[in-house]
Structure 1
Amino acid sequence: MTTQSNKSLRDYIMKANISENHERIIRNLFNALFVEQQEGHVIDHTPNISDIMTLDLNQIQWLLIKRRESDYSQDDILDALKGLEVPKMIIDRNNGVTHTYSGFNGQPIAAIRLDYSKPAKTDELAEELAQIDLGGAPADEIDKCDASRRWIERAMYLEESHIEQQDTIQSLRTIIIDMAETLHVADPNARISMTSSDLLDLVHSQKDMSDNAF
């Protein structure tokens, strides 16, 4: 079983401000994963999810030692992966590590998830701003300071809305993956039956759900 084609181990992008040490760790890590995959070993523990690659933190730390790259600590690996622009590391309340089960063999793993999905399509900011009605007065009668303030406020509102939507999408994706993995271990034939409203309630709930998988 191999990683699906859209989860490329060669096409990754690091953030511009990443440190040289973290850049080295990422380069060594993806190279080791690529070699391991080419040799027929499983490195993706969510093989049936097209845009999420799940890595086992313990496995990749051992793999870096095995490939004689270096003996990096798990914290070093996690900090380095946060420097990825594409794919993005999914960072949750556990700082990016989720103790769950492998979708490959059902064994417990310390999971790190990389998100290969493309950003949700949103209207261009300029197009949104162009539709704002600033009033019917001639341009030379509009108070320029007031107009500029309204443009800035609208831009900030659109940016905040986009961030909230992305956070909700990421939270939903994490919940669905955890539920699917838990169900797979309990019953490989089980199916999730929840409405979008149910999932949103989970995302926005203030209750501690750590003791309840659903």
Structure 2
Amino acid sequence: GKPLSLSGARGVVQVEKSGADLRLSRLTLVGDKISQPNQTCEVTMGDADSLALKPMGAPDGVQRYELDASACPLQFDVLNGALRATSQNGACAFPQADCRADAAGLWGPPGDSFDEAQVKSIERERTVSEKSVSAHFRSLLAKNKKDKAATQAAVKEQAAFSASRAQTCRDYDREEAHGFCDLRLTEARDYRLQTRLAADNPGKQDKKVAKSTAKPAARKPAAKPATEQQGGPAF
């Protein structure tokens, strides 16, 4: 139910529960005019009708939903108080509105909405998440130590994650002051690693992954803007 913005600054997306389903009750994208790229434009999808989200399970350890819209097909990963949007087709073009908008990135609270206590909490959780990612990555390397190709692929993927996180979060409003984007993407990376490890050891599945891929579980939020753990969104 809380409005989220791309990089905490552009557009609005709002998710509502409809029974067991999730729907986008509001999706406004901000982009550039096709005819005049130096001018901004705005497109609202769905108008008065909410947009259905198709559940796609949790392939990377967090719940994923798909917006099946021909004009702008998107996938949303549900994080803690945020949505990570990806698009296979790049920026979405709306010729009738003379607008092109890129919706990919982290949708979260405004960058100026974090108070000092929330920032300190984010810093603490980020330290824990970084250590957890390092530990699970080492476990993945140890598991593949006899497979040189798999080891090289894992190292390459980890480096790609670091680069992608830096690129995504550098655009988040006031990220240097609060670190919200960095924390959420690091948590998501940790869940992906845990899922990879659990896939090879189903009997030893990490408890955190089990929670994230099974039923919703309550969790003490790191900051006010955070809503719920990955397993069950409560916007």
Q: Normalized against structure 1, the TM-score is what?
A: 0.31
Q: Which of the pair has more CA radius of gyration?
A: 1
Structure with bigger strand share is 2
Q: Which has the higher contact order (CA 8 A, sep 6+)?
A: 2
The alignment's TM-score, normalised by the length of structure 2, stands at: 0.29
